[in-house]
Structure 1
Amino acid sequence: MHTLKKMISVLISLVIAVSCFFMYDVEPLMAANIETSAGSAILIDASSGKVLYEKDAHKRLAPASVTKLMTLLIAAEALESGKVNLKDTVTASERACSMGGSQIYLEVGEKLSLEEMLISIAVGSANDACVAVAEHINGSLEEFVHQMNEKAKKLGLVDTNFINDNGLPAEGHYTSAYDLAIIAKESLKYPLISKLTSIKEYDLRGGKFKLYNTNKLLWWYEGTSGLKTGWTQEAKYCLASTVERNGLKLICVVMAVPEVRGHFAESMKLYNYGFANYSYKKFAEAGSKQGETTVQKGTAEKVDLIVDKAVGISIEKGKDKDYRMEISYDQTIHAPVVKGQKLGQMSIYNGDELQIEVDLVAKDDVAKSSLFGLMKKSLQNTYDFGKAS
């Protein structure tokens, strides 16, 4: 009887052990090791978008002032297209001045440069400046918000709908931690947004009004380079941030954190996990040559294929042996070729699983050769061939 009980006990222990093994084999290790008070959270690789940690990341929640990240993104696109200029004069309307919450207390008719308005949004989270910028860029707040929602659709975001451009409470105004992470990733394509959101303090109106950045990670956490905070009673504490260390750049979003300053503590907890468990592996330097292709009927016989930005990915520490790079491109193309034209592709795999794809582009322009040029080249080739024989 005693032997039977012992055998049953051993069998039960074995079943539990096997169950635990399969449970942890299926569920991400990160889910077992991290707890966060955030109602929703995500940590991603800023380069590839690879998700390193998530908790209810697609839950639709009020984002409060993290909304302003999309406002800054739309403004950055307008600047890049030449539609507006940082030196533009922006005049505050009555509607802009009527906004409550965080503000720079614009007066009707007050004029500031677009750059100062954007700094007020990025650093001081100014609701009034958001409306003034929207009206300057698109003529009306409604049209600007429409553009924000159109941009969300282009980014493939399905859990986002904006009612305003500053994040003040409004029915139907929502997004998710995942969607905000994608907006943040897109924002990092524009150096201006990183520059503005990393300003710690700024003297507005000739020093008469001081702005202090609401993102305390800029002071508290090494490698932080900006993005946006948010708080309302409905949304609680929210933060979309980005940190880079030793080449590894991460984006973290936490939403609906109940504790005061909890959005900073919870973000640092997730970053600590990310930097402890992942490292950055670079596969190619920005501008590096990855091959060359023959150009037919062109003023040059060949053109170099390069990557226009550094190529790398976050890799779980100790698990980098299975990563490999593949390059594909046509060996021959026809002129003309435009500098920056996509001519091939670099693919990074982990085993057989694709991780990222990056375009290979032409390093230089190659114009189409004239008839005279083609005849001259043909004669030269014939002559050289004759000499060689």
Structure 2
Amino acid sequence: MMLVLGLLYSTLLAGVGAAEAAPAVDTINLQGKAGILMDAESGQILYQKDAETPYAPASMAKMMTEYLVEKAVQDGKIKWDEVVTVKENAAKQIGSRVFLAVGDKHTVKELYVAMAVASANDASVQLAEFIAGSEEAFAQLMNETAKKLGMNNSHFINATGLDRADMPADYRPKSIDGETRMSAKDSAILAYHILKEMPEFLDVAKIPSLKFRERDTTETPNWNWMLESNKNVPNFRKFAYPGVDGLKTGHTSNAGNCFTGTSLRNGTRLIAVVMGVPGGLRDGKRFLETAKLFDYGFNNFGKQTIVEGKAAVKDHETLKVKKGKQTSVPVITASDVSILAPKGTTIEITETTVKSNQEPLMAPIKQGDKVGTATFKYNDPSTGEAKTLTVDLLAAEDVKKGSWWRLMFRAIGGFFSGLFNGVVNLF
């Protein structure tokens, strides 16, 4: 059950003293225009550098294309085994591609893997046209989706992340101005949604190389050189990082070197984004910079449970019930909730608010029914800013509907009690 109401995109650390501040970030010395480090479970931000400024993301924009393809499959609009016929726009793409030709036929899944592993512009465009009818219509869908996901500093003009000038002239968007732009924070938010809503994406993202056609004589390595599976590959060994299994690289002369990566270690998954990293495409510096972020997160933060699961909330152990055999029901949290906190710190809840789904609840109630929520307030240890976290409350036992006889006598008792109190208050 989802315990966090809404998707939290800001730091969820809390309540530590001045002597227990978050680890210093100045030691990271991140090289690049922008970067961010996010907890993939909660959306908690552990580090950021110019994270809300929109920059050219290059092929990292394909994460939105991947998201929308997966979404279309989930919603039953398309199927993985559907055969797609390649059209002119896709065949004319430049840059990373699998050299599709007009009339070629491939399944949705084949094109999707080509996009995710080989960063194929032609496969991306053909999938966009298959879903929306045209790449321009698909870009409009990308922008609409970005707003829904809370990506407030993003703008898409195509399915690939290419600059307008690099698109086939006849297929450049007419109703969408500007260039594709995305902030580091928005890139992390998009990765967050992919991992939450379609974790099976990682089964494709971690494929180490792609042989697109049976007749192809060579395989195209995954552009993500940080994949843990590369630890035994001589050319990529220095970039391989423990637990890395996605997500997406990006490079153009305008964007520089970009990367959105994710790593899972000891039960904690982080998302790291770097943008505008200087250097050449093949020097791998963007992966070394990403490693700095992962090192910072894994070395300095640890999970801390701030809400115990299946436990009563202090001073809010019950909720009122109407027309039941009992007048209240004991409630417990649905499960525990953990956040990342600087190692050695203690998180303290400063305020707790409980809200019933109905005031009062109406019998009958079954054990395990969601009957309310509890909201916990605490402070960000770095900024002192108040943060909140909301979890579901469940009924800890059944409450059967009271008999007519029981309810009548309860009402009579309530009447005389009220009458007595009214008389007392006269004196």
- Tell me if both proteins adopt one fold, taking TM over 0.5 as the criterion: yes
Task: Check whether the contact 1:252–1:267 (CA below 8 A) recurs between aligned residues.
Answer: yes
Which of 392, 410, 414 in structure 2 is aligned with 1:360? 392
Q: Residues 111 and 357 (structure 1 numbering): CA distance in 2 closer, same or farther, change over 3 Å? A: farther
Q: Residues 181 and 295 (structure 1 numbering): CA distance in 2 closer, same or farther, change over 3 Å? A: same
Q: Residues 343 and 89 (structure 1 numbering): CA distance in 2 closer, same or farther, change over 3 Å? A: farther
- After TM superposition, the structure 1 = structure 2 runs for residues 276-315 of structure 1, keeping only pairs within 5 Å, are 276-283=299-306, 307=334, 311-315=337-341
Q: Give the match for residue 349 of structure 1.
A: 378
Which of 181, 186, 190 in structure 2 is aligned with 1:183? 190
- After TM superposition, the structure 1 = structure 2 runs for residues 93-242 of structure 1, keeping only pairs within 5 Å, are 93-170=87-164, 171-189=178-196, 190-206=198-214, 208=216, 210-219=219-228, 220-242=240-262
Q: Provide the C-alpha distance between the structure 1 equivalents of 2:97 and 2:376, rounded to a whole number of angstroms.
A: 46
Task: Check whether the contact 1:42–1:177 (CA below 8 A) recurs between aligned residues.
Answer: yes
Identity rate, percent: 34
Task: Check whether the contact 1:120–1:211 (CA below 8 A) recurs between aligned residues.
Answer: no
Instruction: Letter of the 1:133 partner, please give it.
Output: L
Q: Provide the C-alpha distance between the structure 2 equivalents of 1:337 and 1:116, rounded to a whole number of angstroms.
A: 49
Instruction: Letter of the 1:50 partner, please give it.
Output: Q
Q: Which runs of 5+ in 1 are unaligned?
A: 1-23, 367-372
Q: Which runs of 5+ in 2 are unaligned?
A: 1-17, 165-177, 229-239, 411-427
Matched, 1:328 2:354: yes
SS at match of 1:252: strand
Q: Give the match for residue 317 of structure 1.
A: 343
Task: Check whether the contact 2:97–2:118 (CA below 8 A) recurs between aligned residues.
Answer: yes
Higher percent of residues as helix: 1
SS at match of 2:403: helix
SS at match of 1:215: coil
Task: Check whether the contact 1:290–1:360 (CA below 8 A) recurs between aligned residues.
Answer: no
Task: Report 1 or 2 for greater relative contact order, CA contacts < 8 Å, sequence distance ≥ 6.
Answer: 2
- Coordinate RMSD, CA, aligned: 3.9
Q: Give the match for residue 39 of structure 1.
A: 33
Structure 1 position 250, deviation (Å): 1.5
TM-score by length of 1: 0.77
Q: Give the match for residue 19 of structure 1.
A: none
Greater shift in the superposed pair: 347-356 or 209-218: 347-356
Task: Check whether the contact 1:123–1:214 (CA below 8 A) recurs between aligned residues.
Answer: yes
Task: Check whether the contact 1:304–1:362 (CA below 8 A) recurs between aligned residues.
Answer: yes
Q: Residues 142 and 50 (structure 1 numbering): CA distance in 2 closer, same or farther, change over 3 Å? A: same
Task: Check whether the contact 2:143–2:156 (CA below 8 A) recurs between aligned residues.
Answer: yes
Structure 1 position 121, deviation (Å): 1.1
Structure 1 position 157, deviation (Å): 2.6
Task: Check whether the contact 1:45–1:250 (CA below 8 A) recurs between aligned residues.
Answer: yes
